[in-house]
Structure 1
């Protein structure tokens, strides 16, 4: 059964209404990265939201023997559910308690709950099912930092190089004076929404590219000259937590 259905049903039964009000949620960086990968796998049409059509296509894909029924064995074997309390999830998904899950369950969940979810909503609901852990960041910070990572990763290879890091600086430096000041700081993607005094040596004089490269080099824990998503989030996602 489509992984997203799991969290949609949790939302649905969590308050009995299909609407939610929730406090800021958090998760470990590793957990949120894993959930992010799940989201993009389930977002079949790559439009940034998970909706009924995505669920239908996933139902077809995971139904290995094409009999229209998702059994406990198939559910337990689903690699996307690794690390979850699968028995609990199964009970929640088997709406009529008949020991199987069919596409009718999926339709019911989308009919009664919200029709679609973006990455932030997806992460918030799944994070809410996780036990608190040390070293967590808020989902909001994760989503903002993840977006900045993707925009800074100009060649879309999953790594941010020092060259890309400085190229985005030059784009943000609207007047081309070699420093970022005032509104220009808000245009520098890797550190949007981060307190300026966290990285700028003299805010009144403006922030130079060297101020940012110090943070880049400190974040590059394996010293390969690039930042992977986890390295990026450890520094920049954590900094955003103080402002969101």
Structure 2
């Protein structure tokens, strides 16, 4: 327990510096996808939160020569970090001394530390970490990005990272509570791909949205014409719909 007390004592020393960091509400979509990958790399125990233990293990693993300091080339030597950029390294290098040591890691974790606890979920992670990365790609609302990802993960029943037409139609059948083949204004809220979008077809107030209507959304999202939706295709398409409403 003493080392935990020490860690958070060190973190509290940098309260003034960290208070200046204001989390973003929007960021470049390519930046968000990159940071999303980094989040899952750092979430070592797969509990959908990044905790101090996760950060400490990632930093320790990157220190190949065990000198208490790691450099950019050591970061790239980690198989999970081999796509990291200099910007990612600079996220850790926060006290301006040109190297990354545990003090830097303390600061980095404190920057994204939740006000309500000692772990960080993906929305908090993206909002804070995007302040240290340049915006790459079209700007997207971070809340919409996260909501779209959550909807995809639930809809992807076999967890293979691809949404099939069968899985997509299963969401329609689930939302169609009266089984009439249409989604009325109440049922559209239960259709997961458009849960945060609102009304997405012209007939919702009359006959309701048909399966053809929702299939048109699937086809619009399937930019590579593979017949399935990747998480990237899903987030880009449905996340933008959420942002537009």
Tell me the TM-score normalised to structure 1 length. Answer: 0.79
Offset at residue 108 of structure 1 (A): 5.5
Residue deviations 1:75-107 (CA, integer Å, cap 9, x gap) = 576535315275x5465245xx3x543334434
Aligned pairs for 1:1-150 within 5 A: 16-18=17-19, 21-22=22-23, 24-28=25-29, 30-71=30-71, 73-75=73-75, 79-82=82-85, 84=87, 86=89, 88-89=90-91, 91-93=93-95, 97=97, 100-107=99-106, 110=109, 114=113, 115-132=118-135, 135-150=138-153
Report the more deviating stretch, 147-156 or 106-115. Answer: 106-115
Q: How far apart are the structure 2 equivalents of 1:166 and 1:228?
A: 16
Aligned residue in 1 for 2:241: 239
Unaligned runs of at least 5 residues, structure 2: 1-12
Q: 2:213 aligns with which of 206, 211, 214?
A: 211
Q: 1:180 aligns with which of 174, 179, 183?
A: 183
Q: How far apart are the structure 2 equivalents of 1:113 and 1:124?
A: 8
- For this pair of structures, how many residues does the alignment match? 226
Q: How far apart are the structure 2 equivalents of 1:169 and 1:161?
A: 13
Root mean square deviation, CA, Å:
2.9
Check conservation: 2:196, 2:242, Cα contact below 8 A: yes
Aligned residue in 1 for 2:227: 225
Check conservation: 1:25, 1:128, Cα contact below 8 A: no
Secondary structure at the counterpart of residue 16 of structure 1? helix
Q: How far apart are the structure 2 equivalents of 1:137 and 1:113?
A: 20
Secondary structure at the counterpart of residue 81 of structure 1? coil
Tell me the TM-score normalised to structure 2 length. Answer: 0.79
